[in-house]
Amino acid sequence: MNAPVKISRLVLPGCVLAFGLAVLPGAAWADTVIYNNGAPDNFGTYYADANSSFSFVASPFMLTAGSSTITGATWWGGCSPEGTCPSGDFTIAFYSDDSGAPGTLIQSYSVGSSNQTATGNSIGCGIGNCFTEYSYAASFGPLSLTPGTTYFFAVGDNTGETDTWGQETADAFANFDSHYALSGGTWYGGYSTLAFELTSSGTVPEPSSILLFGTMFLGMGAALKRRYPR
């Protein structure tokens, strides 16, 4: 009879996780959109550039319970009048609410060119001034905010190029104070909702990864049963 074999400190969940990460480097953990201020409408932009009299634009938002930690953002914009943007040097910032306008700065992040990508769409063609639409994405934080509370998300381009960068509208000529623009240290209310999303790092693997983890559990169980019979 074979002597019993002692397996010391076998903690299956931890071992499976470590093993899974070792053999599944491609397992994807998706970011979740926790706030959507609207899709880009290809109509126009509002200047938010060191080359302009308005250096930042800011939009109000509110998060919900269970989805109040931000780790990334996506936004859209373009440069005029020439129509193309060089790689930008962006700062994004979060402000408290002060009677419906941006108040105290909570946190700012320098995010460089922020994965600038030409979408293949154009902005402003309906008013006779077409220029290239770009999407931007950045990861940062994490920044945890209070759910059910109004905050402001702000974007500004510090490059100072000849063309002037602006954040794209999601609903041109919406209600006044749909966004604010910063000039000379003062925030001024403006029309139009601006296009952006806030995201949070997900903690649930994609379905294919879940299937692989499940298969791995079964495989490990069968191997242990063959190697260490009762």
| Span of 36-40, 48-52, 106-110 with lowest mean pLDDT | 48-52
Strand partners, 155: 57, 92
- The tokens describing 125, both together, are 């063609």
User: Under 8 Å CB-to-CB from 120, ≥6 apart: which residues?
Assistant: 133
Spatial distance between the Cα atoms of 93 and 153, rounded to a whole number of angstroms: 6
pLDDT beyond 80 at 95: yes
- The tokens describing 88, both together, are 């930008």
What confidence score (pLDDT) does residue 12 get?
31
What confidence score (pLDDT) does residue 202 get?
63
| Span of 11-15, 39-43, 115-119 with lowest mean pLDDT | 11-15
DSSP 62-115: E-BTTB-EEEEEEEEEEEESSS------EEEEEEEEETTEEEEEEEEEEEET-S
Which tens digit of pLDDT belongs to each residue from 181-191? 999 999 999 99
Mean pLDDT score across all residues of the chain = 80
> Amino acid identity of 199?
T
pLDDT beyond 70 at 213: no
- The tokens describing 177, both together, are 């104070």
CA distances from residue 208 to 30, 121, 205 in whole angstroms, order as listed: 12, 32, 8
pLDDT beyond 70 at 154: yes
| Span of 34-38, 55-59, 175-179 with lowest mean pLDDT | 175-179
pLDDT beyond 80 at 26: no
pLDDT beyond 50 at 23: no
Average pLDDT, stretch 96-103? 97
Q: Are 166 and 78 in contact (CB under 8 A)?
A: yes
| Span of 5-19, 39-53, 94-108 with lowest mean pLDDT | 5-19
What confidence score (pLDDT) does residue 27 get?
38
Could you tell me the residue ranges of all domains in the chain? 31-227
What confidence score (pLDDT) does residue 230 get?
44
| Backbone torsions φ then ψ of 162, nearest 5 degrees | -60, -45
pLDDT tier at 127, thresholds 50, 70, 90 = confident
What confidence score (pLDDT) does residue 192 get?
95
Q: When comparing pLDDT for 143 and 83, which is higher?
A: 143
What confidence score (pLDDT) does residue 5 get?
38
Which tens digit of pLDDT belongs to each residue from 55-92? 999 999 999 999 999 999 999 999 987 788 888 789 99
